[in-house]
Amino acid sequence: MLTSHTLNFKHRYQVAAPCRRNGAQACRRTAGAKRIRFSLVLWATSGDAKPSVAPSKVAAPVDFSYRVAAKQAASKLRLDSFLVEQIAAELAAVPSSAQDVSRAKVQASIAAGLVAVNGRPVSKAGQQLRAGDTVTASLLPPPPMQAIPEPIPLDIKYEDEHLLVINKPAGMVVHVAPGHHTGTLVNALLHHCSLPALDLAPTEPGGVVAVAGRSSGGGAGAGEEQEADELEEEDEEEEESAQLGSSRLLSSSSASSSSSGSRILRPGIVHRIDKGTSGLIVVAKTETALTRLQAQFKARTVDRLYLSMTVGCPSSRSGRVETNISRDPGDRKRMAAAPYGGTRGRTAASSYQVLEPLAGGGCALVQWKLDTGRTHQIRVHAKHMGHPLLADDTYGGGGPAALSAVAKGGARSVEEVKACLERLGRPALHALTLGFSHPVSGKRLSFEQPPPEDFASALEQLRGR
């Protein structure tokens, strides 16, 4: 018999140290910081069973305080613009922060009365600031969300009572997040496995925490492969179905049951691939499968090959790229390469092999093998090499410069290349192979999925066939 357990907890988010940006000192208020109470529901098989893991970091509104420097006030300075710039700079100095800030989020916080200038609440986002003004602000947390089961067709390559291997189409986001409430792989999985809607609770701005599921042991599971970067997606990177008994699809961002560290729960997601990336992904159905699969990702015993097309052809036919990867300080929706082993970001290593020059050398078919699984890893490393992925506008693989670079090979005109990229409409990246040991039987499983029609068509065009 299934019974529910409700856990209540509080958390105050706080940056470890203040930082300075553009002459302004930024700091988080600790005294009297606002808190929000959240409720977490876990399902167990009996009233005696106790949840084994509870999320430990769900953030309340975060307090910021800044003083306007004279040089900042030399020209007209809007309140909302000032806050976006200052908060973004502060968050960029915290590599582990999953937070994000936008003008709309700041304006909503101002309208809600959570921003004050010199101690007085203000309601106008366009209020002009002067030198010496002190601005304090709290960001609103995102509203609660729900992952709803949706009858979205899945291209399932393998399925048993422990796991599924799915060929994810390009354009599908893996998990529900702000801005992606429907149409995700999680929505499709809930329907496929006959699961109820999954409640989501606010986390620190920009994230979500799944707070309901069902398991035989009542515990929460382990986390995503990113390992698990708290951003939206990796790119290179639960109820029962009829025959599953009391198994569950579940996941969190940590395989540990420790109460320390941030935690993001997602149903069955072992690793992720980007919205624009097509190809193979494995999903766990049970907590045992989840934990053991994640252990394989952590131990680097999972085989993964990715296929891409790059702008230009790398001069070396094969090589290895080693950098750190962190959020781009100028755009927190992008990632950027940083010195390997440095203080910014996390270490990332990718090996590549040029399989075939294309379009007279204007681009190339390149295969990648990942030693780590960082957010946008292949896209960042391709850009770092000077050969961004074809049609990857975010990292320089689209636009006039990319078109000209591809056309320089002489085999295709700029117009032909432009038409090819427009038909592709996404970064030219595909998760080609996936190999791992079955989490229960131990049998080695290997899968290969040819690129979809959009990738294959672009490849043939650039080959000149």
Dig out the tokens for 213 from the structure: 């599921």
Nearest one of 306, 305, 304, 287 to 295, comparing CA atoms: 287
Render 348-360 in DSSP notation, one character per residue: EEEEEEEEEEEGG
Q: Where do the DSSP E strands lie in 397-456?
A: 429-437, 444-448
Distance CA 335, CA 230 (A): 12
Q: From the CB of residue 6, how many other CB atoms can be counted at a distance below 10 Å?
A: 10
Whether residue 235 lies in the annotated active site: no
SS (H, E, C) 227-277: CCCCCCCCCCCCCCCCCCCCCCCCCCCCCCCCCCCCCCCCCCECCCCCCCC
Sheet holding 115-117, edge to edge: 19-21, 24-27, 63-67, 134-138, 115-117, 120-121
**In this structure, which amino acid lies at residue 167?**
N
Catalytic residue among 235, 274, 328, 392: 274
Nearest one of 121, 101, 12, 128 to 62, comparing CA atoms: 12
**Residues designated as active site:** 274
